[in-house]
Structure 1
Amino acid sequence: MLFGLPLRASDPDPTGSVLAAPTASGSATPSAAARPTKAAAPPVYRLAGTPPERGENTFSYGQTTGKVVGRSGTLRRYRIAVEDGSKEDIEKFGDFVDKTLADPRSWIAGGDLRLQRVAEGESYSFTVYLATADTSHDMCARGGTNTNLDGEPYTSCRTVGKVIINLDRWRMSVDHFVKAKIPLETYRTYVVNHETGHELGNSHVRCPGAGKPAPVMMQQTLFLNGCRANPFPYVNGKLNTGPPL
């Protein structure tokens, strides 16, 4: 947004430039409106570089306790964990998860759930993990979920008490999102809400119709099937869902 005094209709500027407001002495000085504005950063669709395939298979846990979010309902506490050797900042990851789950379009919108991030050592209901592809695959497999696609670890998953985010997806999103120029932040928000949705008892659903926003419990990591990418469970104040898978 440009700031400064707007031109009046009675003061045309034949050069097309913004007029400078005169000073008390009558001389003109550049107004705030004439100053160049900083260009917005271009959207990021995936990060450069190749994430490590496997870390140390040990985890560091967040040391931050946040506010309770949500109006009412059952309080579910979660902690944050990042695999050692993943080269990821645990507090940045935790902040993103917090922002996602605290959004008024997220799971708290139903009015029957409250969420709170807690520090290591406090009581918790579930843990949100960020793990390398191989480690996340092993963790998911132990919980009964195969995350392979074409023989390679690909998706994220949820097992009992564990929301497990695949570092490859966290950094690189998925091809159909990138080709459609859907920002990485949108994919990250989706995958946190999707896997947390499983922890909250929600199952997969299908696209409700071409051109409609995809339900967050649809497997958007694998396909959109005519739906539009959508990272939140609630759209326009209503739970956005589709036919059972």
Structure 2
Amino acid sequence: MWGGLAALTVLGAAGFAAVGWASPGTGGTHTDARSVPTKSAESSPGSARPTPSASTTPPRPSASSSTSSSTGSSAGPSDQSSQPDIPTSGPGTFTTASGGSGTVGKGKTLRYRVDVEDGLDLSSGEVASEVERILADRRGWTADGRSAFQRVSSGTTDFAVRVATPGTVDKICGQYGLDTGGEVNCNVGQNVMVNLKRWELATPVYAKDVTAYRALIINHEVGHFLGQGHVGCPGKGQPAPAMMQQIKGMNGCVPNVWPYDEKGRYVTGPAVS
């Protein structure tokens, strides 16, 4: 989700999804990639879970539409006094966070695990707690009334949230034809790949609240896993949808990291490719 998550992915047929900022060297690469269809992943945006319209009010409350609440999270702004060391590559092996959580949300329960690449200065347990908190937030995907989540550490899973070095993210996402350029996240198959650089440093827009940006990463990439596609800014001064490629620019929208607002309204905009 330090703190702040949304995302950078490409689900569907080799589309990219983004949330945040792209470095000068990434060119046209999107910040998060959605997966190419696989037997275990949902094939195309909205195929199983259609995106609600902006006027649709879900049965359960969710995300805040105001700038202050949307950029905040359960934890306070991160301490930016020192920059963490970000290794460019790692062994490509992972440690799964132990334990698990209860089920949050209603509808089909999606079992997920949280993996952290070996050798990183991150606690898999702390990362797992942060992911749990994001997915349980009333402004998150459980507000659609159809999605429920449970973290597990063993047995079958529907997807995995995996925090890894830029090089490992590039390798795994590249297996699906996605170019993450050492900078961005992706969702491929059953993997929500989180680039360590974005997890630790966020982007300029969210630099003062990394916790919020972590929420954007998770909400954006899990949104792709659920079948959601990209949308644009709905209008100047309005909250940026979690499924907007905020990494490409805010386009007049104000920062927001949650799919739903405090009144349970889906935060969306015009569909984009």
Q: What TM-score do you get using the length of structure 1 for normalisation?
A: 0.76
Change (3 A) 1:110 1:64: same
Change (3 A) 1:124 1:184: same
- Identity of matched residues, %: 38
DSSP 3-state at the match of 1:116: strand
Structure 2 counterpart of 1:94 = 128
DSSP 3-state at the match of 1:239: coil
Shift of 1:105: 0.5
Shift of 1:162: 0.6
List gaps (5 residues or longer) in structure 1.
1-40
Which residue of 243, 246, 251 corresponds with 1:225?
251
Which residue identity is paired with 1:81? Answer: D
Structure 1 counterpart of 2:118 = 84
List gaps (5 residues or longer) in structure 2.
1-74
Which residue of 82, 93, 97 corresponds with 1:62?
97
Change (3 A) 1:223 1:89: same
Q: Deviations over 1:18-44 (max 9, x none)?
A: xxxxxxxxxxxxxxxxxxxxxxx9833
The answer to whether residue 139 in structure 2 is matched with residue 112 in structure 1 is no
Which structure is higher in RCO with an 8 Å CA cutoff and minimum separation 6?
A: 2
Structure 2 counterpart of 1:142 = 175
CA contact (8 A) 1:45 1:172 kept: no
Change (3 A) 1:131 1:111: same
Q: Distance in 2 between matches of 1:62 and 1:42?
A: 23
Q: Distance in 2 between matches of 1:221 and 1:50?
A: 22
CA contact (8 A) 1:82 1:130 kept: yes
Shift of 1:65: 1.5
The answer to whether residue 212 in structure 2 is matched with residue 186 in structure 1 is yes
DSSP 3-state at the match of 1:221: helix
The answer to whether residue 152 in structure 2 is matched with residue 125 in structure 1 is no
Larger radius of gyration: 1
Q: Distance in 1 between matches of 2:246 and 2:193?
A: 16
Q: Deviations over 1:33-68 (max 9, x none)?
A: xxxxxxxx9833755133111111101112112100
DSSP 3-state at the match of 1:57: coil
User: What is the aligned residue count?
Assistant: 196
Structure 2 counterpart of 1:166 = 195
The answer to whether residue 85 in structure 2 is matched with residue 50 in structure 1 is yes
Which residue identity is paired with 1:173? Answer: A
CA contact (8 A) 1:78 1:118 kept: yes
Structure 1 stretches of 4+ moved >6 Å: none
The answer to whether residue 137 in structure 2 is matched with residue 103 in structure 1 is yes
Q: What TM-score do you get using the length of structure 2 for normalisation?
A: 0.69
Q: Distance in 2 between matches of 1:200 and 1:83?
A: 24
Q: What value does the CA root-mean-square deviation take over the aligned residues?
A: 1.6
Which residue identity is paired with 2:97? Answer: G
Q: Distance in 2 between matches of 1:115 and 1:42?
A: 24
Shift of 1:146: 1.5
DSSP 3-state at the match of 1:204: coil
